[in-house]
Amino acid sequence: MTDRLVIFDTTLRDGEQSPGASMTREEKVRIARQLEKMRVDVIEAGFAAASNGDFEAVRAVAEAVRESTVCSLARANENDIRRAGEAIRPAVSGRIHTFIATSPIHMEKKLRMTSDQVVEQAVKAIGWAREYTDNVEFSAEDAGRSELDFLCRIFEQVIKAGAKTINVPDTVGYNLPEQFAGLVRSLIERVPNSDQVVWSVHCHNDLGLAVANSLAAVAAGARQVECTINGLGERAGNASMEEVVMAVRTRADLLPVYTQIETTQIVPASKLVSQITGYPVQPNKAIVGANAFAHESGIHQDGVLKHRETYEIMRAEDVGWTTNRLTLGKLSGRNAFRARLQELGIVVTSEEQLNAAFARFKALADKKQEIFDEDLQALMSDGSAPLEQEHYKLVALRVCSETGEIPCAVVTLAAAGDELKAESSGSGPVDAVFKALEKIAVSEAKLLLYSVNAITGGTDAQGEVTVRLSKGERVVNGQGADTDIITASAKAYINALNRLRSGAPRLDPQGGAV
């Protein structure tokens, strides 16, 4: 007998807890539309009570998504739950996901509550949530280190109170697959009203076992898996959605479940999340890594040529690895350009935005002989910031780098109607550019990450640069793309500076950990 496995994606909430991965409202909506295109069952759009920005982002996703359930996380207190309820109100299908810690160490050291108080608070939370929706999920934070008897007790009570989904998180990635499967199996067997809910798991990857633990739990009876695109998430990340989905599909002989995921959208989703968050995908990453379907060994190549299944357990085309080339050029019109953006799920909200994007496309077409979808996505992201958030704009850049000489850079920026110019030298051309930018901005931010990736193949490929800056408690990513890697670096640093200036402060995202 085969059951449907509910895929609960938390890229926009738990994935955003990765340092520097905070997303704007518009970026969250773009990713949510792609998740909807993938036919994800539940999209956890954020933690509405964390800040006004998070609230507006959850609401924007709830307004944009029509096919998937839109969910907001909330701690088990009245304020959090009411904020979550208001945020998801526009959704066709909305869910509130409330949680409270249940492990002895969390109850004693973090909550400073007795077990009786925790149960009482959890039941109250379900009641508040049901004022907004009947679709309420309850999570026992740090369930992987909680006492079984107490978990049985609290789950029985929240089910009586009206919870429809019970989530068992391995919050700190501590469990091993056999152990975690045993916990889930015992809970389903021992909780008297366990047949009234969907059992869910949310596994972290601290020991590299998030996917293994999730699949073991599915074999033990769980019918919802909480996961993220590319395994994004705090610390070592979460269970990778693409790995869970393709494992279920490939090993149907051992896992009696199926998903409704449109798997051909997996690679496009992976690339979109990577590009927006600035977290590149390692080449040997399962399913979505550049080398996932590459065969270097002569023995392997010979086997695949004779019969694909000798070395491939799934088809690259099934997960979206296709040569998806954008056949637009310098002579292409705006309507064709607009149509391709729509096919890629990129929403253009005004004629002004379309005109600006089309101008950038034409400029890129003058530099590159072939333009790919990845180029277009990077181009759109490069100019996606609202004009009011662009305090600094790159006007001109001149860099000199010569063997035996110290590299130097001259940068001109536009800021509040003025042109600001600075010159600096550095250990390399990028270092010189960044130092010149700092002379203008005087941000006093610390550079945490500088990452360069080629968007496509070929020597004329655009370089995509990610810059991560920190100042105080804020960490931001900046992205830039250009066929000139020095220019791309300058754009990325400027983008990060603008985010530092314009971004609203957020509460500590770790407060939403599940």
For the residues 398-417, what does the mean pLDDT come to? 93
Residue 307 pLDDT: 54
Distance CA 310, CA 312 (A): 6
Residue 335 pLDDT: 78
The residue that leads in pLDDT, 17 or 210, is: 210
Report pLDDT digits (tens) over 80-119.
999 999 999 999 999 999 999 999 999 998 989 999 999 9
In this predicted structure, the answer to whether residue 312 has a pLDDT above a threshold of 80 is: no
Do 496 and 478 touch, CB atoms closer than 8 A? Answer: yes
Q: How confident is the model at residue 305 (pLDDT cuts 50, 70, 90)?
A: low
Distance CA 301, CA 287 (A): 19
The residue that leads in pLDDT, 486 or 331, is: 486
Q: How confident is the model at residue 442 (pLDDT cuts 50, 70, 90)?
A: very high
Most trustworthy range by pLDDT among 143-157, 323-337, 358-372:
143-157
Residue 68 pLDDT: 98
Report pLDDT digits (tens) over 174-186.
999 999 999 999 9
In this predicted structure, the answer to whether residue 367 has a pLDDT above a threshold of 80 is: no
The residue that leads in pLDDT, 234 or 364, is: 234
Contacts of residue 72, defined as CB under 8 A and 6 or more positions apart, other chains included, come to 44, 45, 46, 47, 48, 58, 83, 84, 87, 88, 95, 96, 97
pTM, two decimal places: 0.83
Question: In the chain, pLDDT over 70 holds for what percent of residues?
Answer: 89
Residue 511 pLDDT: 58
Classify the C-alpha dihedral 275-200-108-121 as positive or negative.
positive
Residue 286 pLDDT: 92
Residue 329 pLDDT: 63
Mean pLDDT, the chain, as a whole number? 88
Report pLDDT digits (tens) over 20-30.
787 888 889 99
CA angle 345, 348, 349 (to 5 degrees): 130
Mind giving me the DSSP string for 370-422? SEEHHHHHHHHHHT-S-GGG--EEEEEEEEE--TTS--EEEEEEEETTEEEEE
Residue 67 pLDDT: 97
Q: How confident is the model at residue 356 (pLDDT cuts 50, 70, 90)?
A: confident
Q: How confident is the model at residue 311 (pLDDT cuts 50, 70, 90)?
A: low
Residue 387 pLDDT: 44
- The domains located in the chain, with CATH, are 3-286 (3.20.20.70), 325-382 (no CATH), 387-502 (3.30.160.270)
Q: How confident is the model at residue 309 (pLDDT cuts 50, 70, 90)?
A: low
In this predicted structure, the answer to whether residue 304 has a pLDDT above a threshold of 50 is: no
In this predicted structure, the answer to whether residue 162 has a pLDDT above a threshold of 90 is: yes
